[in-house]
Amino acid sequence: MNLRLAFVLISFVLSVTTGLVLSRGRGAATGSAKSGGKPVIGLSMDTLKEERWIADRDLFTEQARALGAEVQVLSANSDDTRQLRDVESLITSGVDALVIIPHNGEAMARAVEMAHAEGIPVLSYDRLITNAETDLYITFDNVKVGELQARFLAEKIPAGGRMRLVRIYGAKTDNNARLFKQGQDNVLQPLIKEGRVEVVFEDWAEDWKPENAKKITNAAITKAGQNIDAILASNDGTAGGAIQALIEEGLSGKVLVTGQDADLAACQRIVAGSQTMTVYKPLTRLAKSAAELAVKLARRQPLIARAETDNGRIQVPSVLLDIVAVTRDNMRDTVIADGFRKEAEVYGK
């Protein structure tokens, strides 16, 4: 019997009223010999070039170590071939569980196959691995992120007036970027139909890069002129790129700009007035819960996931965490109260 078959045979999913109780794996892992019996978790990351992912890595690693596991981290610099190689080398080094933050959710289906061929379970972290038998998914409510961004702008449309809007989506390769757009569409489509919102320009920022968002904003201004009311940027990195273009055009502070992640630079821009809102996603909760789940997967212990996400192949048992919209008015009550940002850093005191 091959390992994958053994993996499937001893897997069971049991529906109970409180959610799904899930246990998958090839039997109790004894821990990697290399780590002196400690379970080893491989963390394969898309990138470490954005502020949030450094925090994710550090919080995850700290919690997994506190729970008695070893963590090996590799980052692929937004390159699918490299991320597949990373996964291969983590598998070869004998990890007991894999946690993957895919650059491209579709491309990493292959990584799940490779891991399963060796009986290693895979946790999809923040971004969904699609069209694969992904064992578990932990993320925020990504559709709601888009809804909060768009609802914030909708509330700023003057009574009887309309809003000229530039839309900057994230990386097409990231399933989350599509979910953020879906949430934005939920709120915007009726307003577009009523003529209260006019989308003057829209595009996807390749690899979520701020410089691509800057180019999109430049192109929007070239096309639509300076008469732009708002930029629906899908995260803080792209918001930063858009704001650079606005500064060059003398428009900074005059155009509403959304974001997400509560990056320090974005929080500073919000209190200074060049960015208008962000979405705070409590990374500490995500990273710590993911570490707890990954350690359980590595030890082949049962775990609970209350939700499911369709990834095109299966319903992936999922853990979905809540989020909150942040503006100048609630900065202190949210990211600062939660200890995610320090008052002195945000306000420069």
Closest Cα partner for 208 from 185, 183, 233? 233
Among 50, 86, 133, 229, binds ligand BGC (CB under 6 A): 50
144 contributes a contact to ligand BGC by CB under 6 A: no
135 contributes a contact to ligand BGC by CB under 6 A: no
Among 70, 86, 135, 174, binds ligand BGC (CB under 6 A): 174
- Tell me the CA distances in angstroms from 76 to 80, 82, 87, one per residue in order: 7, 5, 10
Among 26, 52, 103, 269, binds ligand BGC (CB under 6 A): 52
Q: Of 103-111, 146-154, 169-177, 308-316, which part binds ligand BGC (CB under 6 A)?
A: 169-177
Binding mask 308-347 for ligand BGC (x = CB under 6 A): ----------------------------------------
C-beta of 308: minimal distance to ligand BGC in Å? 19
Looking at the Cβ atoms of 39 and 146, the one nearer to ligand BGC is 146
126 contributes a contact to ligand BGC by CB under 6 A: yes
Q: Of 24-32, 71-79, 168-176, 303-311, which part binds ligand BGC (CB under 6 A)?
A: 168-176
C-beta of 217: minimal distance to ligand BGC in Å? 17
Looking at the Cβ atoms of 41 and 283, the one nearer to ligand BGC is 283
For residue 315, the surrounding DSSP H or E stretch is strand 315-321
C-beta of 37: minimal distance to ligand BGC in Å? 35
269 contributes a contact to ligand BGC by CB under 6 A: no
Task: Give a three-class secondary structure readout of 244-290.
Answer: HHHHHCCCCCCCEECCCCCCHHHHHHHHHCCCCCEEECCHHHHHHHH
Looking at the Cβ atoms of 201 and 208, the one nearer to ligand BGC is 208
Among 78, 83, 176, 275, binds ligand BGC (CB under 6 A): 176
| Euclidean distance between CA atoms 187 and 149, whole angstroms | 9
C-beta of 349: minimal distance to ligand BGC in Å? 27
C-beta of 209: minimal distance to ligand BGC in Å? 9
Q: Is residue 264 within 8 Å of residue 51, measured between CB atoms?
A: yes
103 contributes a contact to ligand BGC by CB under 6 A: no
169 contributes a contact to ligand BGC by CB under 6 A: no
Looking at the Cβ atoms of 175 and 217, the one nearer to ligand BGC is 175
DSSP 301: -
- Residue given tokens 């010999």 in the structure block: 33
Looking at the Cβ atoms of 31 and 170, the one nearer to ligand BGC is 170
280 contributes a contact to ligand BGC by CB under 6 A: no
For 44: left if phi > 0, alpha if psi spans -120 to 50, otherwise beta; the answer is: beta
C-beta of 283: minimal distance to ligand BGC in Å? 9
**Which residues contribute to the site for ligand BGC (CB under 6 A)?**
50, 52, 126-127, 170, 174, 176, 208, 235, 260-261
